[in-house]
């Protein structure tokens, strides 16, 4: 760790444009030592550009980036030894074995665990002498993690570490990331899975169009909705239901209609639900769908942008 | 997961990165059986094929046709058969004419005006012109001509002047170029396409060591690649190596470095394997034709000769031929070595400057 208390990563006024597209538009963020910080946002929000600037792989148009108290362009050699990086969509050489690949990466670092130990850590020991080309998607992501961990990094960058993985592989990777954080190292990860951010991150920055639109712990962000429940329903065609009427119902904080479904943020479900049903009966509206759930980061994103994190 | 596995003890510098990178190049190559075939087996097969096809046949006979219709056809045939340079066939007229037309025979006899013997042949075919001389000589002798000047023949056939001797240095040069350019170009563009290059520069890896590992692994294979083809040619066909082995080694090393740099240059920016293949073919195809791999480049017009001589493959092949066939000393191939060196010192720094890592 560099100076105690100093930020592991500090970004001020970061800006980056590609031709006519502004990818990052005046972004500030700070990753504290020992924390797992998440950048949550839809595809194209500027997460990868932000991370690659912090990794020293892309240059910024303007802004200030301090990584572990050091700067790109001045302390590159030192920084490369201190960072662990997992990029989106890296394909390792398929003809090499897992052990050969990790050994190669280990040889670049002045210190770190033994390759065999890292492979055990990411639970690939059974595949150690197997070719990379034979690994499943989850195993390849764990190999990428092993290559990021092999230099015993102070700060770990993970760009969409679980995209495209099945739920079981995803949980397995989450456990590994938990263990790394338990060792006191810092992590910056990007994701467009809200459950991943909720599960892994101490703090989350919600990104959209190159800006941070909300920042806090997952709990704080969800609490900012001031709703205990989210109630979703749909009614048959021809029914006249309007937002003002719904908002007037006791316990309803907000109401919005998206893709034919009404979404209400509700503080007291036990009062709001009967009142809603009574209101719909009075309007003569036929209920076709009704469900409730506890609010998630997805709902935070929806309430901030009016859009979902993922289109699917 | 135990604590021990979660926080394994740290150790210092592991193995040398350049050694690891070179080892990886080696492993990637030997695990690609197709590449091993094209680099090592194919050139030997090609040399074997050419050596057999163009082997010097000791007493190759020239085929000629005698139509049955000419006077005393059998008698004439008898006289000509005494000359062992000729393969005489007595044929029906139409068959004989057809055989001449398709080149089955080099010459046919016919009855010309005034009952003279007429030789029918294509004046542009060297074989036919030779046949004309032999047949006339044989007929005149049979008719009793005597030669005023006594002569005798002595046949010589020396290694070094046969087609296989000419073509083996050409194949060596072609192989040096192909494996240098292909071996490096594809591997680098593939790593760039897979974003492996980007991942590697996110580590403390030295970029020049990464590129050096390609060149180093090329030099390792060079020993096998050249040794195999040369050994085969020397043992099976008796192709001579008259110059010093040191000189041959220097030429091969320098050529391999030079072509490896050209390969790096060609691969320095391309993002797709298709893109780099096009570029490599564009660069190599003219050299396959112009640089004298299979036939002498002196066949091309004089105006483009300086251009041809400046091509790296021409320089490599000329140097190899001079060393192997004529035993030329270092001074004899100085110009060629200079040309090869220029290609090396121009293309390597250029490749480093232009190289796209992301």
Given this model, what pLDDT does residue B71 score?
85
Nearest CA of chain A to the CA of B34: how many Å?
13
Contacts of B202 in chain A (CB under 8 A): 55-57, 80, 83, 85, 87
Parent domain of A147: 9-220
CA dist., res. A82 & res. A185, Å (int): 11
Q: How confident is the model at residue B201 (pLDDT cuts 50, 70, 90)?
A: very high
Largest CA distance in chain A: 74
The CATH number linked to A277 is 3.30.70.980
Q: How confident is the model at residue B158 (pLDDT cuts 50, 70, 90)?
A: low
Q: Which pair of tokens denotes residue B183? A: 């071996």
Please give the angle made by the CA atoms of B324, B330 and B334, to the nearest 5 degrees: 105
Same domain membership, residue A57 and residue A90: yes
Q: Is A134 on the interface with B (CB under 8 A)?
A: no
Same domain membership, residue A250 and residue A122: no
Chain A nearest-CA residue for B21 = A104
Same domain membership, residue A182 and residue A65: yes
Instruction: Identify the domain boundary among A220, A235, A267.
Output: A220
Given this model, what pLDDT does residue A311 score?
58
Same domain membership, residue A239 and residue A180: no
Question: Does the structure show a pLDDT above 80 at A286?
Answer: yes
Q: How confident is the model at residue A1 (pLDDT cuts 50, 70, 90)?
A: very low
Largest CA distance in chain B: 113
Same domain membership, residue A242 and residue A122: no
CATH of B62-142, one of 3.40.1710.10, 3.40.50.720, 3.10.180.10, 3.30.70.890: 3.40.1710.10
Mean pLDDT of B164-178: 92
Q: How confident is the model at residue B59 (pLDDT cuts 50, 70, 90)?
A: low
Same domain membership, residue A194 and residue A96: yes
Q: Give the three-state DSSP class for B179.
A: helix
Contacts of B217 in chain A (CB under 8 A): none
Mutate to test the interface with A, among B4, B8, B32, B207 (most CBs of A within 10 A): B8
B202 and A100 within 8 Å at the Cβ level: the answer is no
CA dist., res. A149 & res. A183, Å (int): 12
Given this model, what pLDDT does residue B115 score?
79
The CATH number linked to A23 is 3.40.50.300
Question: Does the structure show a pLDDT above 80 at B56?
Answer: no
> Is residue A178 a part of any domain in this protein?
yes
Q: Which pair of tokens denotes residue B60? A: 């190759």
B205-229, pLDDT tens digit by residue?
A: 998 899 889 888 888 888 888 999 9
> Is residue A300 a part of any domain in this protein?
no
> Is residue A157 a part of any domain in this protein?
yes
A230-266, pLDDT tens digit by residue?
A: 999 998 877 778 888 888 888 888 888 877 888 888 9
CA dist., res. A151 & res. B200, Å (int): 13
Question: What residue has token string 């090396």?
Answer: B344
Convert A171-188 to b/e letters by CB count within 10 Å (16 or more is b). ebbbebbebbbeeebbbb
The sign one gets for the Cα dihedral A199, A204, A210, A213 is positive
Same domain membership, residue A205 and residue A96: yes
Same domain membership, residue A32 and residue A153: yes
- How many independent structural domains does chain A possess? 2
> Is residue A310 a part of any domain in this protein?
no
CA dist., res. A299 & res. B1, Å (int): 34
Contacts of B24 in chain A (CB under 8 A): 93, 96, 100, 104
Mean pLDDT of B72-96: 89
A38-94, pLDDT tens digit by residue?
A: 999 888 889 999 999 999 999 999 999 999 999 999 999 999 999 999 998 889 999
Q: Is A105 on the interface with B (CB under 8 A)?
A: yes
Question: Does the structure show a pLDDT above 50 at B11?
Answer: yes
Same domain membership, residue A269 and residue A196: no
Instruction: Identify the domain boundary among A197, A220, A243.
Output: A220
ipTM rounded to 2 decimals = 0.85
Instruction: Identify the domain boundary among A173, A200, A220.
Output: A220
> Is residue A299 a part of any domain in this protein?
no
Same domain membership, residue A199 and residue A133: yes
What does the DSSP assignment read for B132-176? HHHHHHHHHHHTT---SS---------TTSSHHHHHHHHHHHHHH
| Domain boundaries of chain B, sorted by first residue | 17-53+162-354, 62-142
With a pLDDT cut of 90, the percent of chain B lying above it is: 50
A93 and B24 within 8 Å at the Cβ level: the answer is yes
A111-147, pLDDT tens digit by residue?
A: 999 999 999 989 999 999 999 999 998 899 999 999 9
Same domain membership, residue A237 and residue A211: no
Contact between A226 and A267 (Cβ < 8 Å): yes
């Amino acid at each position: 760790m560099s100076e105690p208390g100093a930020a592991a990563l500090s970004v001020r006024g970061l800006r980056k444009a590609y031709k006519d597209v502004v990818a990052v538009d005046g972004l500030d963020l700070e990753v504290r030592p020992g924390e797992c910080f998440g950048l949550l946002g839809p595809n194209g929000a500027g997460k990868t550009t932000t991370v690659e600037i912090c990794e020293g792989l892309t240059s910024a148009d303007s802004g200030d980036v301090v990584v572990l108290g050091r700067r790109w362009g001045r302390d590159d050699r030192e920084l490369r030894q201190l960072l662990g990086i997992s990029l989106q969509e890296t394909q390792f050489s398929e003809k090499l074995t897992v052990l050969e690949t990790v050994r190669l990466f280990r040889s670049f670092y002045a210190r770190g665990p033994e390759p065999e130990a890292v492979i055990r850590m990411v639970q690939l020991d059974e595949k150690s002498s197997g070719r990379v080309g034979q690994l499943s998607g989850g195993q390849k992501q764990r190999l990428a993690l092993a290559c990021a961990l092999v230099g015993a990094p102070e700060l770990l960058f993970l760009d969409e570490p679980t995209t495209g993985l099945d739920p079981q592989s995803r949980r397995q990777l989450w456990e590994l990331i938990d263990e790394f954080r338990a060792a006191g190292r810092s992590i910056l990860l990007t994701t467009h899975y809200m459950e991943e951010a909720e599960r892994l991150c101490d703090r989350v920055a919600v990104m959209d169009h190159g800006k941070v639109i909300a920042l806090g712990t997952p709990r704080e962000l969800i609490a900012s909705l001031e709703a205990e429940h989210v109630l979703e329903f749909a009614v048959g065609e021809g029914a006249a239901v309007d937002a003002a009427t719904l908002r007037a119902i006791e316990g309803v904080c907000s109401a919005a209609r998206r893709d034919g479904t009404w979404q209400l943020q509700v503080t007291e479900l036990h009062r709001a639900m009967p009142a809603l049903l009574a209101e719909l009966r009075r309007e003569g509206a036929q209920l076709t769908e009704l469900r409730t759930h506890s609010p998630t980061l997805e709902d935070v994103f929806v309430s901030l942008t009016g859009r979902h994190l993922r289109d699917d | 997961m135990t604590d021990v596995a979660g926080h394994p003890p740290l150790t210092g510098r592991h193995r040398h990165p350049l050694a690891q990178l070179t080892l990886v190049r080696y492993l990637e190559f030997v695990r690609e059986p197709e590449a091993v075939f094209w680099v090592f087996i194919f050139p030997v097969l090609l040399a074997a094929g050419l050596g057999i096809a163009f082997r010097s046949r000791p007493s190759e006979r020239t085929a000629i046709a005698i139509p049955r219709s000419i006077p005393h056809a059998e008698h004439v045939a008898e006289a000509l058969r005494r000359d062992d340079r000729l393969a005489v066939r007595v044929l029906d007229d139409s068959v004989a004419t057809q055989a001449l037309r398709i080149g089955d025979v080099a010459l046919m006899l016919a009855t010309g005006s005034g009952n003279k013997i007429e030789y029918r042949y294509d004046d542009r075919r060297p074989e036919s012109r030779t046949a004309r001389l032999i047949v006339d000589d044989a007929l005149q002798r049979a008719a009793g001509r005597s030669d005023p000047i006594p002569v005798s023949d002595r046949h010589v056939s020396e290694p070094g002047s046969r087609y296989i001797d000419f073509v083996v240095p050409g194949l060596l040069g072609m192989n040096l170029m192909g494996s240098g350019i292909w071996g490096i170009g594809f591997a680098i563009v593939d790593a760039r396409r897979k974003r492996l290059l980007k991942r590697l520069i996110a580590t403390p890896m030295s970029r020049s060591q990464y590129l050096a590992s390609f060149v180093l692994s090329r030099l390792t294979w060079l020993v096998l690649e050249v040794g195999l083809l040369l050994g085969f040619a020397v043992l099976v066909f008796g192709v001579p190596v008259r110059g010093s082995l040191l000189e041959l080694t220097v030429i091969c090393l320098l050529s391999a470095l030079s072509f490896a740099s050209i390969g790096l240059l060609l691969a320095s920016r391309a993002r797709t394997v298709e893109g780099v293949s096009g570029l490599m073919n564009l660069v190599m195809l003219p050299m396959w034709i112009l640089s004298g791999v299979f036939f002498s480049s002196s066949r091309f017009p004089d105006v483009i000769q300086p251009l041809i001589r400046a091509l790296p493959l021409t320089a490599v092949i000329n140097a190899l031929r001079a060393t192997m066939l004529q035993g030329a000393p270092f001074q004899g191939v100085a110009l060629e070595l200079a040309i090869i060196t220029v290609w090396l010192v121009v293309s390597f720094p250029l490749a480093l400057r232009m190289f796209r890592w992301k």
